[in-house]
Amino acid sequence: MSFKVNDNVTWVGKVDWELRKFHGEELSTHKGSTYNSYLVRGKEKTALIDTVWRPFAEEFVSNLKKEIDLNEIDYIVANHAEIDHSGSLPDLLREIPNTPVFCSKAGIKSLSGHYHQDWNFQPVKTGDKLDLGGKELVFIEAKMLHWPDSMFCYLTEDNLLFPNDAFGQHYASEHMFNDLVDQDELYREAIKYYANILTPFSSMVTAKIKEVVGLELPVDMICPSHGVIWRSDPLQIVNKYMEWADNYQENQVTLIYDTMWEGTRRAAEAVAAGIKEANDAITIKLYNAGRTDTNDIITEIFKSKGIVVGSPTINKGVLHSIAALMEMAKGLNFKQKKASAFGCYGWSGESAKLVSEMLDQAGFELINKDGLKMLWNPDEEAIAAAKAYGREIGSALS
């Protein structure tokens, strides 16, 4: 499959309908993904922007040969060294070994670290230009969006921005343009992508968008490296990123728990009922972390102004689904979100305190620093206490 993005740019990537996990097993991709590679033809020179993930390298090179004689590719641009975009470079450069590879300085380190090849690297920095004849590719470094080497490039005359991972979605589609796909699906994947990948870099997202907007470049399309191309009102996703990067929250509280014998589940439901009594306007969502996709929960945390996390005590600790979730949340460095902990126990009873400490270390503002401990399976009195705890949380989130 290939298709024309416009008269001068052809998409030569790969739609990966099967992908269900990304970054090893770390990130769920329920809707698959795409690895977008673009062939850009000027009047005199032709450039290839990025390649596709390593398992598809042979297919990629074979398809590319149907599109162009590889010897007519004058330049390769590696906007980002991560394997999903650079993984076909070894196969491609085996065929056209001296082709210059334009990337950031950090890109040379990353690409060399991955592939250990003596390629013809050409380091570029913000403002450097590559003349294709009648149009230029202008480079814009985008350090830590989301790797040190990440880079955007912009095609003059055609007014296309190639921002690599930024503005992407893990979303396989035959349509490949934002106006042709289901908008709910598109935005569900776009916000999940932001929440799980870009949250820690939000201050840099804001600064980079302001920098690029300040260049006053006309943008007809935004061509990311995953998912669909934004051609209809392309700045809509830029505006969304500005919202998401600004400590985004909706009027939502998310209760996340795991449970062994239903005690902590019953407590969660009682806490939720208490929140509703005190704050009827807030959206309340409950997830059993042991039974729910972790990245989907992370997306719900991203959308929340507060979270309530519960685990029973086991072996003086917490259930591993909660520990894993808290580790992921700590790395994502959420800001301006409130939180509280709870949990049942039979004898030693450390879990509520431990979850409170995890929430604190992950940067959440504790509503109640001790959390709620409940002995054995909660009786009526304990359920009433959980409701009261919920009311305290509901009021704090008003």
Q: Which residues bind ligand FEO (CB under 6 A)?
A: 80, 82, 84-85, 146-147, 165, 225-226
| Active-site choice (82, 141, 158, 392) | 82
Residue 223: CB atoms within 10 Å: 26
- Round to whole Å and give the CA distance between 10 and 1: 11
| Active-site choice (50, 84, 141, 149) | 84
Q: Can 84 be counted among the known catalytic residues?
A: yes
Q: Can 23 be counted among the known catalytic residues?
A: yes
Q: Which positions ≥6 away from 165 have C-beta within 8 Å?
A: 80, 82, 145, 146, 150, 197, 224, 225, 226
Q: Can 175 be counted among the known catalytic residues?
A: no
- Complex with ligand FEO: residue 173 or 225, whichever CB lies closer: 225
Smallest distance, ligand FEO to C-beta of residue 162, A: 13
Q: Which positions ≥6 away from 140 have C-beta within 8 Å?
A: 126, 127, 151, 152, 153, 154, 211, 212
Q: At what angle do helices 351-361 and 320-332 cross, to 10 degrees?
A: 20
Q: Can 216 be counted among the known catalytic residues?
A: no
| Active-site choice (50, 165, 300, 350) | 165
C-beta nearest to ligand FEO: residue: 82
- Complex with ligand FEO: residue 196 or 259, whichever CB lies closer: 196
- Complex with ligand FEO: residue 244 or 342, whichever CB lies closer: 244
Smallest distance, ligand FEO to C-beta of residue 74, A: 25
Q: Can 320 be counted among the known catalytic residues?
A: no
Smallest distance, ligand FEO to C-beta of residue 64, A: 19
| Active-site choice (35, 74, 85, 146) | 146
3-state secondary structure string across 273-309: HHHHHHCCCCEEEEEECCCCCHHHHHHHHHHCCEEEE
Q: Can 80 be counted among the known catalytic residues?
A: yes
Question: Cα–Cα distances in Å, from 209 out to 167, 284, 303?
Answer: 11, 32, 21
Smallest distance, ligand FEO to C-beta of residue 19, A: 12
Catalytic residues: 23, 80, 82, 84, 146, 165, 193, 226
